[in-house]
Amino acid sequence: MLNKNIPIPLYYQLKERLTQTIREGELQPGALMPSERELSDRYGISRMTVRQALGEMVKEGLLVREQGKGTFVAEPKIDQPLLRLTSFSEDMRSRGMKPDSRILAIYTEEAAQSVAAALNLGQNRQVLVLERVRLADSKPMAFEVSHLPLARFPELEQEDLHSVSLYTLLEEKHGLQIKFARQVIEVGLSDRSNSEALGISVKSPVLLIERVTFDGDEQPFEYVSSVYRGDRYKLQVELHR
C-alpha cells in the first residue's frame, strides 16, 4: 500500500512504484498495464489519482496509450550519439538489434532547388530518390528519403536495398570513401504520411533530421531527410571544457 501519512502526493508515490517495476524488469516493454480500476483497488486510492500517475508516466515516455486497446509499457529509447558518422544499419547492429528496411519507392526525378544546391549539382540535376522505413527488430524507427546524384550512381536503382547498409554498399561495391556529414536536427510533429509509415498517431513528437554526406574529396554525394520517432530516440552529446 501507499503511505497516506507523508507529504508526498499519492499519485507521485504510485508513479515511482510503477516506474520501479518497469526499471527492474517486472513489467517488460509492450506489456499491458493493469486498468485504472485494478490499480485503484490494489493501492486503495481513487481512479483520478491513478489516472494522474499514468498520465505523468506517458509524458515521461515510460508508457504509451493506444486508442481502444489500453496503456502499455513503452519500448526503451535509443541513445543516439551525435559525434560519429554511422549508417542506420551499422548503428542498430552495434546495439544488438536487427536492422531492416521497407522500401516504399525508388525513382528518379529532377532535384528541387534546395536538393540540387545541397548536392552541388550542375546542369544535370537528375537524382535517384529512395524512400524507406527503417526497422529495428521489425519495428519502425524512422522514415527516410535519400537523394543521390543519378550520374554518379546509375546502377544503384537495381541494387537490393532492403537489408543492406547503403553506406556499406557504396563503400564496398562502388569504391566510395565516406568522410564526413553535416546534419541539422529539429523537433517537430508527424504528418499523416510519415505517421502512417511509422505506425504512430498524427502530430506525434518526432525528430526531423537533414543530412548532407561528403566523400573523400569533400564532395557531397547524399542528401537525406529523416523523420525519427520521438518516443524511441533521445540525443546524446559528450561535452568537454
Structural domain for 126, as ranges: 78-236
Q: Which of 24, 50, 73 is the last residue of a domain?
A: 73
Does 217 lie in the same domain as 150? yes
Does 141 lie in the same domain as 120? yes
Does 106 lie in the same domain as 25? no
Say if 241 falls within a structural domain: no
Does 207 lie in the same domain as 191? yes
Does 97 lie in the same domain as 211? yes
User: What's the chain's length in residues?
Assistant: 241
Does 146 lie in the same domain as 30? no
Contact 128, 148 (CB under 8 A): yes
Q: For residues 159 and 136, give the distance between their C-alpha atoms in angstroms, rounded to a whole number.
A: 21
Q: Which of 32, 56, 73 is the last residue of a domain?
A: 73
pLDDT tens string, the chain, 241 residues long: the values are: 788 888 899 999 999 999 999 888 888 888 999 999 999 999 999 999 999 999 999 888 888 888 778 899 988 777 766 667 777 887 788 778 888 889 999 999 999 999 999 999 988 899 999 999 999 888 899 999 999 999 999 888 888 777 678 888 899 888 899 999 999 999 999 999 999 999 888 998 999 999 999 999 999 999 999 999 988 887 777 778 8
Q: Which of 51, 73, 95 is the last residue of a domain?
A: 73
pTM of the full structure: 0.72
Does 16 lie in the same domain as 43? yes
CATH number for position 21: 1.10.10.10
Say if 2 falls within a structural domain: no
Does 226 lie in the same domain as 108? yes
